[in-house]
Structure 1
Amino acid sequence: MRWVPITGDGTSIREAIARIDRIDGRGVVVLDDRDRLVGSATHERLRAALFDGATPNAPVSSILDEPTGSTAEAASAPVLEDGRTVDGILKEVTNGNERTTGSNAEAVETVLVVGGAGYVGSVLCRRLLEDGFAVRVLDPLMYGNGGIAALEGRDRFALHHGDARSVGDVLEAIEGVDAIVHLGGIVGDPATALEPRKTLEYNLHSTQLLASICKYHGLNRFLFASTCSVYGRTDGAGRCTEDDALNPVSLYARAKIQSERVLRELADDRFAPTILRMATVYGYSPRMRFDLVGNVLPAKAHEEGVVPVFGGDQYRPNVHVEDVARAYQACLTAPFEDVAGETFNVGSNEQNYRIDELATVVADAFPDADIEYHDDRTDERSYRVEFEKLRSRLDFEPTRTIRDHCLELRAAFEAGAFADVTATRYSNCATLESAPTYEETDAVLEGGEPPVLEKRDESAPLEAEIGERRSGGTR
């Protein structure tokens, strides 16, 4: 019988019993925000607690047993929503056999972009197609298909509407590809904080599943999208290199660190993932976002005539989404030995800005807007990053600047390109808040038909309805 995974201590005894009953499970295992086992409670233990006087709304964490025996073994590996561990699934998929040799690491012709309909993915897909690659996308389209609607029907492009948590979807998507770019997951501190358990599933457990299956199928080129947020909060004395200590201040960053660790543990002489820690991304994308500081400040300057600054002395590195896509291209086309097993910060030293410096650049591009300072700090992250390794190893230099971007956005605003920058579709957090419940998405994963999304015209991809969504993380 299966155990039900729970993250955090907010789940009530009543809810835990209901979830166990839905799958005829054995009990619950509770994980902390670092995916470590806190304890467990069997179905009988929960009901006995109610009989002994516990209230149904009491947190399940108040009656946990210490992790021992079979419970500890069951929860020692990441647990997916259906109660199976990644290791157990891999045994099913591979039948215990050794992985195949795989394709030549140098011959990349077909690329699978997981999360390819997202903010970075929709830009990357276009660049790859322009450069002659065949592109396949695995994406649950939880933000709609506006980012890639114009690509459907093109030669060398294919969309797999699916979920990276699903073994079947992953196996179907990877067949015949030469490289994987893994952009999938829930992105951003506010979005990942909404439902920590969901974040762990999409940002950590599905990453292990995807990478493990790729390893067993001999797919050598595996690029993973991490973040410079892993550096978190520093003393500001210098720029963080790829070898410096990490100091995460959010679940988003911690999940990325754990994913990096999982990939390094999987690495060997035939599977050596490349990790790209991206600076804070800004810039136009067919799946536009106005919940990123480099995009939201110009939007507020145009819409409200103010550039709000909270705190202001926090440092943050910045990089244009087109340059991020170029960095992935550079890693895909570089000699395998130059990128295998490497970690690269993606950005430029020149674009390490304090928030108040960033606001000044924005205000200069929107002369009718005033900078509005607020003493309260809403984001404790502060870090500068060193990007020399990517420059020296792959001769990579970003080509776009914040000022260029602000002037482009100003022209777009004045041309009426964005009717409402506060619309739900432009925010990861707002979209997730209106996403289907687990019960609804489980029905899809268990065999229901995915929703059909209307194909959109390239002339107005950002105005597409989000429509129905399937569970899963992208971006």
Structure 2
Amino acid sequence: MRWVPLTGDDTSISEAIARVDRTDGRGVVVFDDRNRLVGAATSDRLRGALLEGTTPDAPVSSVLDEPTTARDDAPSVPGPDAEDERIDDTVETVASWTERTAGPNEADIETILVVGGAGYVGSVLCRCLLEDGFAVRVLDPLMYGARGVAALADRERFELYRGDARAVGDVLGAIEDVDAVVHLGGIVGDPATELDPRKTLEYNLHSTQLLASICKYHGLNRFLFASTCSVYGRTDGTGRCTEDDPLNPVSLYARAKIQSERVLRELADDRFEPTILRMATVYGYSPRMRFDLVGNVLPAKAHEKGVVPVFGGDQYRPNVHVEDVARAYRDCLNAPFEDVAGETFNVGSNEQNYRIDELATVVADTFPEAEIEYHDDRTDERSYRVEFAKLQSRLDFEPTRTIRDHCLELREAFEADAFASSTATRYSNRATLEAAPSHEETDAVIEADEASVLEERDESTPIEAEVGDRPSGGTR
């Protein structure tokens, strides 16, 4: 059983007991705002205090076994008056904490936790890491179903934990014995995040703070966070945004990412130096396919409707293939720690900074039967170009996939009937969340969506390609 870490000693005894129960833990270990150990209390001690007449709302500090000293550089152990069992337990915890957080984690990475690994980027990253020889564990609430990792279930070095990064118990169980964490979790995309702003902040900000804090306390220094180039928001288009340029978000999604980046920097010290990757707009095939991304939806519209719709058109947007994104994360994990520790990288390529109307032209060129259809109304105010030289110079990273390649491959997949209608619920983050506002309803919504697809298809048409690693007639 693990200890539940708390920051600050004003948590009530009743809340401390509830957190311990949720994680089946031994008790709580409390740190101050300088990450020094304040004290510890076992589950029995917390409950015993209530039996002795202490009120449930009393602060947990009233029952802690307090340390005899408070050094600046390391936590301490309880004083001599504490019971032997609690001394032994806390010494074990402190010894482990001190050993693992003594400095940067330079140990070889064998097992990687991918939070959100069943998602659009995560399901591709998991395959990339497995192919590179890593063991992969996924923590994911499966709000979009398990389709993205279903084909990995029998892999020897793959584990799937259905759980929530907002829950201490789920996080503590998932990080056990892992060497690095990639945090892709959260509600992704402007339309999806606007559905329920409160829930968005829970998933996209509060879970980041919880996950990063627990990783820090457990000495997991290899921590990669998925941010977005949407943080640049709207610019005048005269230059390309670097990692040091001012941010100008125009959506809740981007603002939550900025706040998460700020949380990570506030937690950073010589024992915890997370890496932030700001991704360009992602496109490309994924086992958990999405057709609510501009690089995917335009080819889908060209195939299904014979039109490439353009709203506005002069907005700039950087683009990057999902396989190149996966390689960027892999390269950061393989890089010498000092090359990526505490750094922020834009992920993409200068050559794929397109205006929306330029992107539409590439799509129309690969679907010659489709026509570009211009609309004056702009549905997205973001417009920014991004500079990607830092990642290229630091890790010699260069994307290898292009929009044109993707469109040609996607066309083959469409012609091979590898996908249901691009408007199916499961291909859209917003549509899935609207249909299944709670995790408990997700499975039923996904099953109903798949049933409706089967009804629309010829029964002789195979759909295995939709749940496998690649669509028939195309590549990832």
TM-score normalized with structure 2 length = 0.74
- Give the number of the structure whose alpha-carbon radius of gyration is greater: 2
Q: Compute the displacement of 1:325 (Å).
A: 0.1
Q: CA deviation at 1:153?
A: 2.0
CA contact (8 A) 2:418 2:463 kept: no
Taking a change above 3 Å as real, the CA distance of residues 179 and 463 of structure 1, as seen in their structure-2 partners, is closer
Q: 2:254 maps to what in 1?
A: 253
Q: Which residue of 1 aligns with 2:285?
A: 284
Deviations 1:295-352 (A, max 9, x none): 0000000000000000000000000000000000000000000000000000000000
SS at match of 2:194: helix
C-alpha displacement at 1:270, in angstroms?
Answer: 1.0
Query: What RMSD, in angstroms, separates the aligned Cα atoms of the two structures?
Result: 2.8
Residues 62-106 of structure 1 deviation map (CA, whole Å, 9 limit, x = unaligned):
xxxxxxxxxxx999xxxx9xx99xxxxx9x753333444428434
Q: How far apart are the structure 1 equivalents of 2:123 and 2:463? A: 12
Whether 2:457 is the aligned partner of 1:459: answer no
Partner of 2:230: 229
Matched, 1:95 2:30: yes
1:460 CA displacement: 3.2
Q: How does 1:121-200 map to 2 (within 5 A)?
A: 121-200=122-201
Alpha-carbon deviation of 1:462? 4.2
2-structure distance, mates of 1:254, 1:222: 21
CA distance in 1 between counterparts of 2:423 and 2:192 reads 16
Q: Distance in 2 between matches of 1:302 and 1:276?
A: 33
Is the 8 Å Cα contact of residues 139 and 163 (structure 1) preserved in structure 2? yes
The count of aligned residue pairs is 372
Paired with 2:156 and 2:280, the residues of 1 have a C-alpha distance of 32
Partner of 1:382: 383
Confirm or deny: 8 A CA contact 2:275 2:341 kept in the other structure. yes
Quote the offset at 1:463 in angstroms.
Answer: 9.3
Hey, what's the Cα distance between the residues in 2 that align with 1:74 and 1:431?
39
Residue of structure 1 in register with 2:354 after alignment: 353
Aligned to 2:3: none
| Amino acid paired to 1:399 | T
Measured in 2, the distance between the counterparts of 1:391 and 1:357 equals 24
Deviation track 1:126-170 (CA, whole Å, cap 9, x = no partner) reads: 010011000000001111101101101211100111000110000
Aligned to 2:295: 294
Partner of 1:406: 407
Residue in 1 that maps onto 2:304:
303
Partner of 2:344: 343
Conserved 8 A contact 1:224-1:274: yes
Deviation at 1:237, TM superposition (A): 1.1
Q: What per-residue deviation string (whole Å, max 9, x for no partner) do you get for residues 231-271 of structure 1?
A: 00001110000000000000000000000000000000010
Question: How many Å apart are 1:434 and its aligned residue?
Answer: 1.0
Identity %: 81
Give the distance between the partners of 1:410 and 1:181, measured in 2 at CA.
32
Q: Give the aligned residue type for 1:172.
A: G
Contact 2:136 2:158 in 1 (8 A): yes
The amino acid of 2:363's aligned partner reads: V
Distance 1:412 1:233, change over 3 A: same
Q: CA deviation at 1:421?
A: 1.1
Question: Helix, strand or coil: the match of 1:413?
Answer: helix
**115-124 vs 415-424, which moves further:** 415-424
The 2-side partners of 1:376 and 1:176 are apart by 52
Gaps of 5+ in 1: 1-72, 85-89, 445-449, 465-475
| Structure 1 counterpart of 2:337, one-letter code | F
On the 8 A contact 1:151/1:157 being kept in 2, the answer is yes
Q: Distance in 1 between the 2:468 and 2:424 partners?
A: 10
State the match for 1:240 in structure 2.
241
CA contact (8 A) 1:136 1:160 kept: yes
Which amino acid in the other structure matches residue 191 of structure 1? Answer: A
For 2:151 and 2:463, the matched residues in 1 are separated by 5
What one-letter code is carried by the residue in structure 1 that aligns with 2:139?
A: L
Moved over 2 A (4+): 92-106, 456-464
| Contact preservation (8 Å) 1:279, 1:345 | yes
Partners of 2:368 and 2:168 lie apart in 1 by 52
Question: Residues 226 and 276 of structure 2 are in contact (CA less than 8 Å); yes or no, is this contact kept in structure 1?
Answer: yes
Contact 1:192 1:199 in 2 (8 A): yes
- The one-character-per-residue Cα deviations of 1:260-300 (angstroms, maximum 9, x if unpaired) are 00000000001000000000000000000000000000000
Q: 1:434 to 1:274 in 2, by over 3 A?
A: same
Could you say if the C-alpha distance between residues 101 and 344 of structure 1 is closer, same or farther in structure 2, counting changes exceeding 3 Å?
A: farther
Aligned partner of residue 206 in structure 2, secondary structure: helix
Q: Equivalent residue of 1:460, what SS?
A: helix
Name which structure has the greater RCO, CA cutoff 8 Å, separation 6+.
1
Equivalent residues of 1:149, 1:458 under 8 A apart: no
Whole-Å separation in 1 of the counterparts to 2:388 and 2:463: 34
Q: Distance in 2 between matches of 1:303 and 1:427?
A: 16
Q: What's 2:371 paired with? A: 370
- Name the structure 1 match of 2:393: 392
Which SS does the other structure have where 1:309 is aligned?
Answer: strand
Asked whether the equivalents of residues 151 and 468 of structure 2 are also in contact (C-alpha less than 8 Å), the reply is: no
